[in-house]
Every structure is written in C-alpha cells, then in structure tokens.
Amino acid sequence: MENSKGVPGFELFILLFFTIGAVFAVISFTIYRNSRNLIEHGIETKGIVIDLHRLKPREYPLAPSIRYVKKDGTVHVFHSSEARNPPEYQIGEEVTLYYDPNDPDNVHLKGNYLFVYVFAGMGAMFWLFSIWYVGSAVKAVFQWLFG
C-alpha cells in the first residue's frame, strides 16, 4: 500500500499520550477497587507504627512499619511501600488497617489513597494534553493506515 502522505507524527504522539492517560486511569481505578474490596471483605484491626523505613538508601521519604495482631492472635508486621516526606505517621501512632486473612501483607491503611491519587493525577495530565486533539488524531491515523 503506497501512501503519498508521510507518517502523522503529531497525531501518533497525541494517541500515545491519550493511551498513557488511559493506562494510568485504569491503574488508579484498579488500586482503588482493590482497596475498597479489602475494606469490604478484609478484617479491620488496629496497629501500631513501630518504625519508619526508607525504601531506598539515603532517600528521605519514610514509610511506616506497622505491627498488628491478626484475628488468630498472631502478631504480624506490615512494611508499607508508600513513603512520604514528611512522614504521614509517627512511631507509636495507632492506625486502623484492613488486611486479607489469606495474605497478611495485603494491607490497606484507613484513608490512605496516595497511589490512587498519584496515578489518577498522572492520567488526568496526559488526557489534558491530548483530549482536544484525539478525535482528529484518530481520523488522521485511520486515513494514513487505510487510505
């Protein structure tokens, strides 16, 4: 198939941005849905922040390590992967959490939707820069591909 027009670079770029925004929106929704599922079907308990740890050496954002007692009476320590600067929690602070009895490391800290907000915000930014042109971009790419 020979086409006299060149590759629609700008339009492909717009579609890429729109697609990346959609992927981030899906990730955000999935994290939110999983958190809500854990809240609805997991076990609610209280835990104590016993430590603040760095996810990477020499980086300041700190994530909490939380000790809690499972329903069967065993003590478990959850090491969060959500670090913040300044830290959201303090050592000794009591927190409410929800955990999966089949996977005690699957924990949702009450009110903590950081990753949902981060991925939703990134998706919104990609969509913001592409939404105005996505219709014309689809049309141009379709014409380029199929004549």
Enter the tokens of residue 7.
Answer: 């590759």
% of residues, the chain, pLDDT over 70: 97
Structure pTM? 0.77
Tens of pLDDT, residue by residue over 61-98, are: 899 999 999 999 999 999 998 888 889 999 999 999 99
The predicted structure's pLDDT at residue 114: 87
Contacts of 28 by beta carbon, 8 Å cutoff, 6+ apart: 115, 116, 117, 118, 119, 120, 123
User: Per-residue pLDDT for 1 more than 60?
Assistant: no
% of residues, the chain, pLDDT over 90: 78
The predicted structure's pLDDT at residue 4: 53
User: Per-residue pLDDT for 2 more than 70?
Assistant: no
Q: How confident is the prediction for the chain on average, in pLDDT?
A: 92
The predicted structure's pLDDT at residue 92: 97
Q: Please give the Cα distance from 40 to 46 (Å, whole number).
A: 16
Q: Please give the Cα distance from 132 to 37 (Å, whole number).
A: 35
Enter the tokens of residue 88.
Answer: 């959201």
- What number is the average pLDDT over the span 107-117? 91
- What number is the average pLDDT over the span 103-132? 93
CB of 87 closer than 8 Å to CB of 112: no
| Domain boundaries defined on the chain | 9-146
User: Per-residue pLDDT for 52 more than 50?
Assistant: yes
Q: Please give the Cα distance from 139 to 133 (Å, whole number).
A: 10
